[in-house]
Amino acid sequence: GAGKEVAARQLHLTSKRARGPFVVLNCASMDPDQLSDELLGREPSHDDHEGGKVGALERAHGGTMLLDEVGDMPLETQAKIVRVLQEQAFTRVGGSQTIEVDVRVAATTNRDLKSLIEEGRFREDLYYRLNVVPIRVPSLAERQSDIPLLAHHFIEQATNTQGLTRRAIGEDAMVALQRYGWPGNVRQLRNVIDWLLIMSTGDPITAEMLPAEIGAITPEVLKWDKGGEIMALPLRDARELFEREYLVAQVTRFGHNISRTAEFVGMERSALHRKLKSLGVTGTDRSLRVVAD
């Protein structure tokens, strides 16, 4: 759900094979026999009224074939892939004719393939044949700055394909989206955007319209829940409380990237560091905490 297939498709579209097909084979959803049929195709039998089956390799000729979640591929199918990568040729299931193909093979996984190799569940020769140019796609929680672009993209997509009304996302809602952990990654974000466009009313979309688990982490400074507390403080203390909440929210929003936060809030990086320290805010790369006075 982090967008590995999207990244692979984009690499295909920017390659010399862009005019060729892009074929995805999901390795996690089929048993070994079915996966072999889908990969290699099947010769027609006497009782096969559909005339056999063209496999993913043939359909990807001249283009790219993506082995999605290759870590879940059965060992016997892995052996067939190794032979195809070596020879750029294969034989359909039930056939005898060798079929030559020109295919670039890419693969995605969310598994630790080296651990699977040690456990005897993934072929080492296949690993090294696939792991020529490894690319790590970080989780959505690790690239919070992408969330506004993705959210607007999904709004446009839903508008164009589902006929839903285009809506803007308010600042408070966007900050909440950027602060959320997204365990379901990009797929979950797309589902949330679709849900908002279908189930909520009003334009722009506000934090109150978000699903409870997301809207609940909207920064206090944006919900103004501390309004009563601020009104009971002298100006200097109220300003300090506001600055603390505001800067913690912005640092979190920008993925704890101090340079980007400083640019957005209009401060020098060193000045922001000093301000955070003076407000009692300390933290690590992935967390922040407010130190009590």
Task: State the pTM of this model.
Answer: 0.61
DSSP run (H or E) holding 25: strand 22-26
Domain ranges of the chain: 4-130, 140-218, 222-290
pLDDT digits (tens, 9 = 90+) for 97-110: 888 889 999 999 98
pLDDT confidence of residue 200: 81
How far apart, in whole angstroms, are the C-alpha atoms of residue 91 and residue 238? 75
Picking from 35, 14, 46, the residue whose alpha carbon sits closest to that of residue 81 is 35
Domain 4-130 annotated CATH 3.40.50.2300: no
| The CATH number, out of the four listed (3.40.50.1000, 2.40.70.10, 1.10.10.60, 3.55.40.10), of the domain defined by the range 222-290 | 1.10.10.60
pLDDT band at 283 (very low <50, low <70, confident <90, very high): low
Report the CATH fold assignment for 140-218.
Answer: Helicase, Ruva Protein; domain 3 (1.10.8)
Please say if the pLDDT value at position 269 is more than 60: yes
Q: Tell me if 156 sits within 8 A of 165, measured CB to CB.
A: no
pLDDT band at 62 (very low <50, low <70, confident <90, very high): very high
- Which of 43-47, 115-119, 173-177, 273-277 bottoms out in mean pLDDT, i.e. has the lowest? 43-47
